[in-house]
Amino acid sequence: MESKNFACKTTNVIYGSISEKYEIFEKIGEGAYGEVYRGFDKERRRIVAMKRLKMSSGNRLPKVCLREMETLQKAQHKNVIACRDFIQDEKSLYLTMDYAPYDLRTLINRTLSYNMKFEPEEVKFYTVQLLRGLSHIHSQSIIHRDLKPSNLLITHKGILKICDFGMARNFSSTEKLYSPLVVTRWYRAPEILLSYGKYGQPIDLWSVGCILAELSLMRVLFPGTSDIRQIYSIFEALGTPSEAVWPGYSELPIVRKTNMVQFPSSKVKAVFAPLTDSGYDLVTRMLTYDPNRRITAKQALQHTFFGEENVLEKPSTESDHREKKKMPVKRKSEDAESHPDEMVPKKRTWRRGDELRM
């Protein structure tokens, strides 16, 4: 499933007329397996996202939809967007999900449009939530395989929710080949780019490292326009790997048949110059070439980057940007009814333990 406004958590199967329980508004997204609409749950009195699923031949759900739903039943967590109902009537099949009005890509773009940047405390606020959700997903033996800013939804309260598990797979510790055609190129780990499918959960941490760097630098870290340019974008920033830093590198399939350009590793510190020492240490541990040495999500949550006490302004939603620019906030009545005071920017004290206990 490719919508950016939902995933799945606890599903209640309902048979009957959709209009009895839900009002359907405008279309907000579309993917290979369905269209997504903003809707209103009449019983719960809240805005939801509703995905109308496309049926395959024989009036059956595509296998990818069934696989995603099965996978997400295991991924029940505050930082994974929740799916509430599965509704079937004579004409359609719908999944209803908790609605999140923003995604991290939108927030990044809007922040840039105001010639602003994320404060360090905001970077920590979003990163720690991403790691908490990912740590749980990994504990359930799942690889997400498509972490990127547009797959990280943000609620009115600034809570981050991982979504779009269409590429997710159950992970086995035994040697197994997976498809190399996963993860949006800019966030794709080098072992995917170089090794024809031999990878595991560390690929998700590479993606998190790219996202953390992007939030800190306000630019895409490795913006390759093709796979080979993506490889060289990584090598130019981090230095071309060697057997010393990545045992087995020289035997990777693409490395064996390609004369790789040798870039020095002396530029690494300059690339991440805007980061604090602890931020630099964390992002480079996430962007470690050798996946066996790459930091895990659970380990990253204990990093000193999250150890300081900070005063954090409520995360940057559209209304926050309007507030900073002294622009009027226009809200839809449905959102106001469901979220009477969540759009008001607030000051709050952020401590490492606060988010770890969310």
Three-state DSSP at 254 gives helix
> Would you say the C-alpha torsion 308, 312, 318, 324 has a positive or negative sign?
negative
Report which of 46, 40, 37 is spatially closest to residue 6, judged by C-alpha positions. Answer: 37
Treating both helix axes as pointing N-terminal to C-terminal, what angle do 104-113 and 202-217 enclose, rounded to 10 degrees?
Answer: 20
Three-state DSSP at 294 gives coil
Burial string for 5-22 (b: 16+ CB within 10 Å, else e) reads bbbbbebeebeeebeebb
In angstroms, rounded to a whole number, what is the distance separating the alpha carbons of residues 21 and 292? 49
Q: Position of tokens 């870290």?
A: 221
Active-site residue, from 41, 146, 204, 320: 146
Contact 107, 316 (CB under 8 A): yes
> Would you say the C-alpha torsion 158, 137, 77, 8 has a positive or negative sign?
positive
Report which of 175, 157, 128, 51 is spatially closest to residue 306, judged by C-alpha positions. Answer: 128
Cα separations in angstroms, 304 against 92, 164, 244, 299: 50, 30, 27, 11
In angstroms, rounded to a whole number, what is the distance separating the alpha carbons of residues 26 and 39? 8
Give the number of other CB atoms < 10 A from CB of residue 176.
12
Checking phi first, is residue 80 left (phi over 0); if not, alpha (psi -120 to 50) or beta? beta
- 146 in catalytic set: yes
Contact 339, 155 (CB under 8 A): no
Q: Bridge partners of 103?
A: 153
Residues comprising the chain, all counted: 358
Whether residue 51 is annotated as binding a ligand: the answer is yes
Hey, what are 129's tokens? 């939530």
Three-state DSSP at 51 gives strand
**Residues marked as binding for ATP?**
51
Name the residues annotated as catalytic.
146
Annotated binding site: 51
